[in-house]
Amino acid sequence: MTPHEALQLFTKTLGNLEKWMDKAVESAKERSFDVEVLTHARLAPDQFAFVQQVQSACDQAKYAAAYLAGKPAPSHPDTEKTFDELRDRIRKCTDFVATVEEGDLAGAEERKVAPPWLGGRWLSGADYLVHMAIPNFFFHVTMAYAILRHNGVKLGKIEYIGSLPAREG
Amino acid sequence: MTPHEALQLFTKTLGNLEKWMDKAVESAKERSFDVEVLTHARLAPDQFAFVQQVQSACDQAKYAAAYLAGKPAPSHPDTEKTFDELRDRIRKCTDFVATVEEGDLAGAEERKVAPPWLGGRWLSGADYLVHMAIPNFFFHVTMAYAILRHNGVKLGKIEYIGSLPAREG
């Protein structure tokens, strides 16, 4: 998987997440509750709520794009409170990721990635992708999915995986 | 990320999962309940329980190794009922994954991967890894983690990510 394919996978998966949110809206309508209740839902009292899981998934994609391309990451303050605002956040994120083209990622795997939380140490771009961005991105989208499932939204593996480029012959 | 790095990431993450299980054992002892209760825990009645999440994570790693190397996957029947049996399952899985060496993966990204559930269609090895093995593997390990967290086991992002090959200077 090239760094560009990883960014495309993040964008595809955030598109899947928007479809899970559509299902949550339908489910709330059917069961006569306000879908925004789910923004506060969490699986444990000391864990992130749905809103923060979506914000964190977006940030993993945004920072991966920025660090791997050596571009500054745009600031996306965590102010979202509603499903519609979360959709805007996803769109801002995927719009930024889309500005990173394959050519911007030449040498990305050898790039020094030194996020502030590494306290002066660094990871190669390749290691950042393998050990941090990919596991962490899928952590937060799966937690968002798990919170919806736990609250009775009907979702299955097909919605999680989304489209597959399967071929005939 | 090369196919070999992906397999190494799966093995590392299954090692992290074993540490989450250690924490679950400690937590059960502290709170005076039988840890095996957690094997049946699930986040929704129509979702996999902890045992099946671990089995599924193992299977994603096993099949990725087999399909990408063009080797037959060993049969690992889903008979586990206890934490110790799940540890054996993880070990059987990672032992098999370790038999796939970098050289076995030459041309893996161009290989035709045609699992039975694709009904005669196929994915390239590269697409199988990006669109199926990686998202699905992290889905099941994150669900296992989420089930433990939901049941009060103290785990944090450091335990999820595990060791990082960060460098100085």
**pLDDT tens, B14-64?**
999 999 999 999 999 999 999 999 999 999 999 999 999 999 999 999 999
ipTM over 0.90: yes
User: What letter represents residue B154's amino acid?
Assistant: K
B138 and A143 in contact by Cβ < 8 A? no
pTM for the whole thing? 0.97
Share of chain A above pLDDT 90, in %: 99
Residue B65 has pLDDT above 90, yes or no: yes
pLDDT tens-digit map of A92-113: 999 999 999 999 999 999 999 9
Per-residue model confidence as pLDDT tens digits over B104-127: 999 999 999 999 999 999 999 999
Residue B89, classed as helix, strand or coil, is: helix
Residues of B with a Cβ under 8 Å from any A Cβ are 1, 5-6, 9, 12-13, 43-44, 47, 118, 120-124, 126-127, 129-132, 134-136, 138-139, 142-143, 145-146, 149-150, 152, 157, 160-162, 164-168
In eight-state DSSP terms, residue A118 is: G
Instruction: Supply A81's token pair.
Output: 């409170």
Is the per-residue pLDDT at A169 higher than 90? Answer: no
Q: Say if CB B140 and CB B53 are below 8 A apart.
A: yes
Mean pLDDT of B67-86: 98
Q: Give the pLDDT score at B169.
A: 84
Q: What pLDDT does residue A47 have?
A: 96
**Mean of per-residue pLDDT scores for chain A:** 97
Tokens describing residue A98: 């889309």
